[in-house]
Structure 1
C-alpha cells in the first residue's frame, strides 16, 4: 500500500466521533427522563391493586441498582451540560433528564425569556392545581435565565411571589421573565405565569432581585468553573 495514499479515518476517534458520542448520550438521558416522567405520573395517579404496587416497586428497585455506580460528585457538571448557556439536562425545571421537570421549553428574545410547559399530577398541590412552590421554581429559573442571556449571570437574593389564581394541571402554560432595571451588580426582574390560551391573564406574578457574584465569591461558590 502506498504510504502517501490517504487512509480512512479510524472509527471512534476525532472531534466528530466525540460529538456523536455526546449526542447519543444526550438522547439516552432524554429518553430515560421521558420514561421516568411517565412512570412518576402513572405512579401518583395509580389506583392499582396493592400487589401490583409491590411488584412495580420491586422492578423499580432492580432498575435503580443498575444506576447505582458510578455517580458524579455533588458539585461536578455533567459532560452533556452547557453550563455557560444554561442548558442543563438535569435541571428540575427545563432538564430533559430530570424526572421532576415538566420539562419547560425555553425561548429567548432580546429582553425576554419565555417558557412553555404543562404541569402534571406529580406537581399537584390543591387537587387539580399546581403546588405553589412549583410556580415559584418555574419563575426563579426563567428570571435567572433572562439575566444570563442579558450577559448578567446572577444568583437569586430575593423573590417575591404573588398568587393571583390557582395554576391548573394538564394545561399548557406560558411563563415569562424580563429585566426591569439594573443597579451595579443587581438585576431586577419581573416574572409571570399564565395559560397559553389566556396569556394576558396572569395567574402568578413575581419580582426578583438577582446579584452577579464578585470574582472572589464566584471562585468560592463554583471553584470548578471558569469565571462567568
Structure 2
C-alpha cells in the first residue's frame, strides 16, 4: 500500500462501534427525511419538530469534517470476494440506500429497492434522474469491484416505462466488454416484471494514488 496520509473521511479510520453508530444515525435520517416529506400533522407539531431538529443540527455540527464519510475504494472488491452485499450510501443520508450483490464471478451485480415519496417525479412514479443516478452507481461499483479506478465517460439511458413508487424494483448491471482502459457495461431496472429503464455506459480507467487506510 501507499505511504500516503490516511484519508480522514474513510470509514475504515473509525472504530467498529463508532462506524456502527454512524450507520444507525444515517438509517434514522433516511426515515426522518421520509417522515418530514409526508407528515400531515398540524402546524404546532411541525414548528416543535423544527425546533428539535435545529437543536440536533447544532449538536452534530459542533465538530465536523470537511467531507462526508465514505467507504474505502477496496470495499466493493472485498464484498465481491467474500460474497457479501455491498451497501451504497451507508454513511451519508443524501444518497439512495441500496445493497448490491455480485454475481457471475463478480462480472454482474444485482440489487433490490423500493422507491418512495422522496424519489417521485411523475405522479406515483420514480423520477428519471433517480433511475439514472442508480444505474451510474450500480455500474460504477461493479467496475470498482474489479479493482479498477474508472470514471463515467458516457451513460445512455432509455426510459421504457414508468417505474412505480412503493413497489420493489430490481436493478441489474453487467460488464459487456473491455479494451485497454475502456470498460463497457449495461444494466436495467425492472418493476413488476416490466423493464422500465435500460442503460449502457462507457467507463475509462484512470490512474489514482492509493490511499492507505487500516481496516
The answer to whether TM tops 0.5 is yes
Does the Cα contact within 8 Å between 1:161 and 1:205 map onto a contact in 2?
A: yes
Q: Distance in 2 between matches of 1:49 and 1:165?
A: 37
Q: Distance in 2 between matches of 1:187 and 1:144?
A: 11
1:55-134 to structure 2, matched below 5 A, reads: 55-74=48-67, 78=69, 81-86=71-76, 94-109=88-103, 110=105, 111-134=107-130
- Superposition deviation, residue 62 in structure 1: 0.4
Does the Cα contact within 8 Å between 1:187 and 1:209 map onto a contact in 2?
A: yes
TM-score (norm 2): 0.80
Q: For 2:195, what is the secondary structure of its paired residue?
A: coil
Query: Which of the numbers 197, 203, 207 marks the counterpart of 2:200?
Result: 207
Count of aligned pairs between the two proteins: 189
Partner of 2:43: 50
TM-score (norm 1): 0.75
Shifted more, 141-150 versus 96-105: the winner is: 96-105
- Superposition deviation, residue 131 in structure 1: 1.1
Does the Cα contact within 8 Å between 2:99 and 2:111 map onto a contact in 1?
A: yes
- Superposition deviation, residue 85 in structure 1: 2.1
Unmatched segments (≥5 aa) in structure 1: 1-18, 88-92
Q: Distance in 2 between matches of 1:139 and 1:175?
A: 8
Partner of 1:225: 211
Q: Distance in 1 between matches of 2:66 and 2:37?
A: 30
Query: Whose radius of gyration is greater, 1 or 2?
Result: 1
Q: 1 or 2 for the larger relative contact order (CA 8 Å, sep ≥6)?
A: 2
Q: Distance in 2 between matches of 1:144 and 1:63?
A: 34
- Superposition deviation, residue 124 in structure 1: 1.2
Unmatched segments (≥5 aa) in structure 2: 1-11, 78-86
Kindly tell me: are residues 34 and 151 of structure 1, through their superposed partners in 2, closer, same or farther at Cα, counting changes over 3 Å? closer
- Superposition deviation, residue 86 in structure 1: 3.8
Does the Cα contact within 8 Å between 1:113 and 1:146 map onto a contact in 2?
A: yes
Deviations 1:177-215 (A, max 9, x none): 1111112111111010112x52xx3110111110011x3
- Superposition deviation, residue 117 in structure 1: 1.5
Q: For 1:202, what is the secondary structure of its paired residue?
A: strand
Deviations 1:148-185 (A, max 9, x none): 12233311111111111111111112101111111211
Moved over 2 A (4+): 80-83, 96-102, 150-153
Query: Which of the numbers 126, 145, 156 marks the counterpart of 1:149?
Result: 145
